[in-house]
Amino acid sequence: MGAQFYAIPDDTSRFHVDLPVRTLMAYITGVGDTAFGRHAGETALTLMAQAANAALADAGLARAEVDGLLCGYATTLPHLMLSTVFAEYYGLQPVYAHALQLGGATGCAMAMLARELVDAGRCREVLVVAGENRLSGQTRDAAIQTLAQVGHPDYEVPYGASVPAYYALLASRYMHEYPVSETDLAEFAVLMRRHAGAHPGAHLKEPISVADVLASKKIAAPLKLLDCCPISDGAVALLVSREPRAGLGVRIAGAGQAHLHQHVSSIASVSDLGARRAARSAMDEAGVGLGDIDYLGIYDSFSITLLILLEEIGIAARGAAAARLGSGDFAPAGRLPLNTHGGLLSYGHCGVAGGMAHIAEAQRQLARKAGARQAGERHCALVHGDGGVLSSHVSLVLRRDE
């Protein structure tokens, strides 16, 4: 299965080496999470442990069988060695451990690395976990101020720009170059809320309308409050294994990355942010094309994030993502169900785990274990995470072994 050699695509050739590609063996054999929202009294470690317990239970694996550990970061626990702090707390003695930091792309990057580790034979069972009490562990102002440091410390932060402002700048330019309206953006916020309504663990479930989004509090034009994800507490864990579980194989069939800039003022073009390059790498490696994808887990820190990613990856033409939404394609019964858990915009955002929730939901959809949210029979998912200001891009292709 899969391509024997990289087909070198036009715009990604400088990132590829013309080497034969093997089919890497790595399966997501368990997923676990906490509900997202407010969990007063919990810490990053207690939330991570709850998600880890759920993932191990889902996989039917004993804690002692975990031999690799990858952790994200937690703004409420900014430790030098979060992975081994968690290992000691949780009672693991892995042969391989570290924490990884790539903003919102961390979860996809950890899954990609876990895949390499089990394929290389370094580990058999890698626990990938992240979580934090981002909402209840600090004031909202402290969280917003911490996140604003994503900006350039010398050339952006001094102007009083915030994370929504960085994305708003990007949005203003994208909406100048392509026919995208504030109503188009609002449609995505409404869709995510509708999906979250079907998930008992979602942070925000109360239905909203396009009018509600447009009338919500101004944050950084053109973005309003309901174009922005909430700040949540929560955790997600995945178990990445060398062997499939009996009767259930959801394989990480391809992965790819692209990193073209860090800061919004260093973006060369809003039409080439790296998403398409990462997604094409992942799909080439999996030996699939966009036409083979039948489920989407796409990062959605803001409504504009989701719209740009869908259009850059090529799931919709430029300026046409909202029309595709309007046609019903992104609904659970549509051709390409999108973030059926509600995404960051409504399931919630607690940092690294927020981006991992897209992976967990994709695995559940492929495994046909999404319960009331099950979107029919899905075979091949594209999951995409981005960190910074659409800076770091990591794509995964997940396939169900048939």
Partner 1 sequence: MNKHAAHFWEGCAAGELRYQHCAACAALQFHARAFCLRCGGAKLEWRTAQGSGTVYALSSVARAPTDEFRALAPYVIVLVDLDEGLRMMAHGAPGLCIGDRVRAGFFVHGGRSLPRFDKS
Residues that bind partner 1 (CB under 8 A): 144-145, 147-148, 152-156, 158-165, 168-173, 176, 217-223, 263-266
Specify whether the CB–CB gap between 305 and 390 falls below 8 A.
yes
Measured from the CB atom, the residue of 152 and 205 that comes closer to partner 1 is: 152
Measured between alpha carbons, how far is 185 from 129 in angstroms, rounded to an integer? 31
Measured between alpha carbons, how far is 117 from 94 in angstroms, rounded to an integer? 13
For residue 198, the minimal CB distance to partner 1 (Å) is: 30
Measured from the CB atom, the residue of 285 and 312 that comes closer to partner 1 is: 312
For residue 228, the minimal CB distance to partner 1 (Å) is: 9
For residue 95, the minimal CB distance to partner 1 (Å) is: 39
Coil, strand or helix: which one is 386? strand
Measured from the CB atom, the residue of 5 and 155 that comes closer to partner 1 is: 155
| Nearest-5° Cα angle at 390, 146 to 373 | 95
Residue 131's closest CA among 80, 81, 75? 75
For residue 319, the minimal CB distance to partner 1 (Å) is: 16
In DSSP notation, 101-125 reads -BTBTHHHHHHHHHHHHHHHTS-SE
For residue 101, the minimal CB distance to partner 1 (Å) is: 21
For residue 150, the minimal CB distance to partner 1 (Å) is: 11
Measured from the CB atom, the residue of 27 and 166 that comes closer to partner 1 is: 166
Measured from the CB atom, the residue of 221 and 323 that comes closer to partner 1 is: 221
Measured between alpha carbons, how far is 269 from 353 in angstroms, rounded to an integer? 29
Measured from the CB atom, the residue of 305 and 339 that comes closer to partner 1 is: 305
Ranges of beta strands (E only) in 34-171 are: 68-71, 96-99, 125-133
